[in-house]
């Protein structure tokens, strides 16, 4: 790709946001052959112009969190596989990731379920249903980085319940260590995992290419990884060798 002007690069970033709903600094840096520092400056400027919302490691479209229909086909395919694991009357914990958000159409009218979440978006979408699951909300301290509630109060609320299954997203995947995150506030995911009989991580296989320093959940805490069939054989075998059941959805859709 020929080097673009600053304006052309920023317009291209907005085009990608329109197509994907979210973008990541590391991927943009490689695509536009420029430094991550430069990309972060672009995102800060675009946010100041109210054209996007920055998050740890990238940015999302304004209002993206309310638009389930804009979630990628791959994430919807993963969510469909995840929904197959839900049993009648299950008590479910949901985190705030966009891949986890894709499971909502499968449970929004399941009034037999109990759902706890730290995501205001998830709560609002579930309550918009005529027959929503019984909803429990963590409360806590609003965290701009994760766009969800975090902190001791949220952890205490989660720890007061036992769940049949927790659905947790990931910013990155490490084939030997576990799920990774840009956000250093990882206690809530660990609390979800500790209080759930089954822990299901939902993440596209391209998350394996993302080098992120913070471990969120070690593989020893994960029951099942639902990813797509583009996962490479070495990574697949490494994760399976650590006792994780790996389910592969079709990368191009259901």
**C-alpha closest to that of 209 among 1, 26, 31:** 26
Report the pLDDT averaged over residues 202-222: 92
Report the alpha-carbon distance of residue 189 to residue 138 in Å, rounded. Answer: 12
Q: Which residues pair with 179 in a beta bridge?
A: 173, 217
Distant-in-sequence, close-in-space partners of 110: CB < 8 Å, separation ≥ 6: 86, 131, 133
Instruction: Confirm if 219 and 241 have CB atoms less than 8 A apart.
Output: no
Per-residue pLDDT tens digits for 91-116: 999 998 778 888 988 998 899 999 99
Report the pLDDT averaged over residues 203-221: 91
Q: Are strands 163-168 and 178-181 parallel, antiparallel or unpaired?
A: unpaired
Q: Classify 180 as helix, strand or coil.
A: strand
Per-residue pLDDT tens digits for 167-197: 999 989 999 999 998 776 678 999 999 999 9
For each of the domains in the chain, give its residue range(s) and CATH number, in order of start. 6-62 (1.10.10.10), 68-249 (3.40.50.1360)
Report the alpha-carbon distance of residue 55 to residue 35 in Å, rounded. Answer: 18
Q: Classify 62 as helix, strand or coil.
A: coil
Quote the pTM value.
0.74
Token representation of residue 176: 């030997």
């Amino acid at each position: 790709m020929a080097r673009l002007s600053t304006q052309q690069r920023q317009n291209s970033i907005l085009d990608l946001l329109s197509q994907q709903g979210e973008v990541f600094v590391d991927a943009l840096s490689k695509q536009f052959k420029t430094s991550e520092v430069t990309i972060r400056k672009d995102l800060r400027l675009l946010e100041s112009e109210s054209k996007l919302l920055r998050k740890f490691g990238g940015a999302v479209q304004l209002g993206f969190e309310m638009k389930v229909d804009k979630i990628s086909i791959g994430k919807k395919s993963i969510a469909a596989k995840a929904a197959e694991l839900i049993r009648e009357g299950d008590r479910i914990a949901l985190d705030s990731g966009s891949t986890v958000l894709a499971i909502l159409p499968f449970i929004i009218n399941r009034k037999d379920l109990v759902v706890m979440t730290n995501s205001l978006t998830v709560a609002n979408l579930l309550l918009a249903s005529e027959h929503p699951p019984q909803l429990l909300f963590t409360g806590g301290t609003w965290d701009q980085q994760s766009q969800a509630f975090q902190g001791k109060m949220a952890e205490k609320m989660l720890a007061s319940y036992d769940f049949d299954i927790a659905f947790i997203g990931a910013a990155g995947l490490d084939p030997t260590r576990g799920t990774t995150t840009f956000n250093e506030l990882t206690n809530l995911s660990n609390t979800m995992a500790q209080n759930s009989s089954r822990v299901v991580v939902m993440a596209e296989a391209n998350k394996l290419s993302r080098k992120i320093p913070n471990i969120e959940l070690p593989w020893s805490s994960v029951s099942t990884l639902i990813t797509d069939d583009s996962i490479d054989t070495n990574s697949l075998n490494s994760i399976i060798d650590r006792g994780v059941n790996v389910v592969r959805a079709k990368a191009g859709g259901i």
